[in-house]
Chains A and B, each alone.
Chain A
Amino acid sequence: EVQLVESGGGLVQPGGSLRLSCAASGFTFSDHYMDWVRQAPGKGLEWVGRTRKKANSYTTEYAASVKGRFTISRDDSKKSLYLQMNSLKTEDTAVYHCVRVSGTYNLDFWGQGTLVTVSS
């Protein structure tokens, strides 16, 4: 059974940092691109960014709203995905979902998410 379990969310002050983790199981993690998608309270879905796999040099893509502040990384040996968030803003408050990308590039499996609240 595919499982994606996020952790690391919490309350942080504006300007602060937080690192989210996503533990994957039930599939060959290293074979997949992985994404982060967020959802602000009561709002829709917003794509945050992507990490490709080793064969694609682990290259990354980011939404303009987080580029330069957020960094996506992965550790295939630990089957884990990470999101390092720096210079956090109140508008970064959201549930952050870890998402598997299929071979046809659709977002085929989503984690439950972890809540990040940026507030003073």
Chain B
Amino acid sequence: DIQMTQSPSSLSASVGDSVTITCRASQDISSYLDWIQQKPGKAPKSLIYAASSLQGGVPSRFSGSGSGTDFTLTISNLQPEDFATYYCQQHKSYPLTFGPGTKVDFK
């Protein structure tokens, strides 16, 4: 199975900040990497697919980059609605696997 790791596990930030979350795969997954946002009690929401493509309706302050084993999610100009947990997920091979999540909360 492909193992996904994320760093940091949590971070504190303020509205207007720029934050970066890193995701690493245990083997080459090309660009088969997605980012998912989850707020407490809500359904997860797809943000970015294929490492860098924005899902429809997602604000442009979200951006993704990377390929192979190393990926990043950047949120520029953090907004109040962005405080959530973010997961990376690979779909290069079965079983699909998720990173452990990064919780972004208020400083």
The interface of chain A, by Cβ under 8 A from chain B, is: 35, 37, 44-47, 50, 61-64, 97, 102, 104-113
Contact = CB atoms under 8 A, between A and B. Distances in A.
A113 B43 CA distance: 7
Contact of A110 (B44, B91, B95, B101): B44
Q: Say whether chain A's binding surface is mostly helix, strand, loop, or mixed.
A: strand
B46 interface: yes
Nearest to B101: A44
Contact of A108 (B32, B43, B55): B55
Size class of the B contact interface (CB-based, 8 Å): 20 to 34
Interface of B: 32, 34, 36, 38, 42-46, 49-50, 55, 87, 89, 91, 94-101
A13 to B, nearest CB: 27
A64 B95 contact: yes
B95 A45 contact: no
A45 B34 contact: no
Interface centre among A45, A97, A107 (most CB of B within 10 A): A45
Contacts of B49: 102, 104, 106, 108
Contacts of A111: 43
A63 B95 contact: yes
B45 A110 contact: yes
Given A102-B49, A109-B46, A61 B94 contact: yes
Contact of B87 (A45, A63, A64): A45
Given A44-B99, A44-B101, 12 more contacts: A35-B96, A45-B44, A45-B87, A45-B89, A47-B95, A47-B98, A97-B44, A105-B91, A107-B34, A107-B89, A108-B46, A112-B43
